[in-house]
Amino acid sequence: MSDILETPSDRLLAAVRGLLVAKGVMTTDEIAERIRITDGGSPAQGAKMVAKAWTNPEYKALMLRDGTAAAEMLAIPMRGLPPLGVLEDTAEVHNLVVCTLCSCYPRAVLGYPPFWFKSAAYRARAVRDPRGLIGEWGTVLPEGVKLRVVDSTADYRWMVLPRRPEGTEGWSEEQLAAIVREGDMIGVTIPSIA
């Protein structure tokens, strides 16, 4: 790329990468691999984990105990990333993930955070009025279901294991993964087959 077309941010990023290599912190190949891993993260990765948990009790137990290990079991690279926690939705509890300070997000399993997740409005409403917030997404919880808001941080990232929709018995993991949306794994929406 020509220096004329580079932005100050491009030059700063190149300088930081150069410094990491020069100081022996990372090699050029390791930097390229980390970029590839980051760019490979997407909601499809998390949906694959959810579908496997819905069909495999042992995998579900691992996912709830150690989300990082569960991701790695499905060849989702987690090395160097904060630990991944997984919150299970039940008939009694629905989980909603927010990062109240910025946009801490499990990128390896959900990709880049959506613009609304990073917004001050989402962060504030998730804490002050979570039922109203998810209601705007069309999510209405049955009476008596507790809504738990969990803060994703720089030290620990969270995703939701939503409840499996009724009527999906006998579906393959691929069919199940196809109905899981990013919002379902954040808690603003609930998977459905309708």
Q: How do residues 100-143 score in pLDDT, each as one tens digit?
A: 988 899 999 999 999 999 999 999 999 999 999 999 999 999 99
Determine how β-strand 84-88 pairs with β-strand 93-98.
Answer: unpaired
> What one-character DSSP code corresponds to residue 182?
G
Residues of the chain above pLDDT 90, percent? 84
Q: Are the beta carbons of 70 and 49 closer than 8 angstroms? A: yes
Phi, psi of 143 (to 5 degrees): -55, 135
Band the pLDDT of 3: cuts 50, 70, 90: low
96: phi > 0 → left, psi -120 to 50 → alpha, else beta; which?
beta
Provide the pLDDT for residue 5.
Answer: 65
d(CA 174, CA 191): 14
Neighbouring residues of 136: CB distance < 8 A, sequence distance ≥ 6: none
Per-residue pLDDT for 25 more than 80?
A: yes
Supply the pLDDT for residue 148: 98
Question: Which phi and psi angles does 17 have, rounded to 5°?
Answer: -60, -45
Residue 31 has pLDDT above 50, yes or no: yes
* Active-site amino acid positions: 99, 102-104
Question: For 163, phi and psi rounded to 5 degrees?
Answer: -75, 145
10 sits in the region (left: phi over 0; alpha: psi -120 to 50; else beta) called alpha
What gap in Å lies between CA 191 and CA 164, rounded to an integer? 7
Closest to 40 (Cα-Cα) out of 111, 104, 115: 111
How confident is the model over 89-100, as a mean pLDDT?
97
- The least confident of 31-35, 39-43, 63-67, 135-139 is 31-35
The pLDDT of 21-32, averaged and rounded, is: 92
* Rounded Cα–Cα distance for residues 7 and 12 (Å): 9
Arithmetic mean of pLDDT over the chain: 94
Residue 167 has pLDDT above 70, yes or no: yes
pTM score: 0.86
SS3 label, residue 33 = helix
Once rounded to an integer, what is the mean pLDDT over residues 77-85?
92
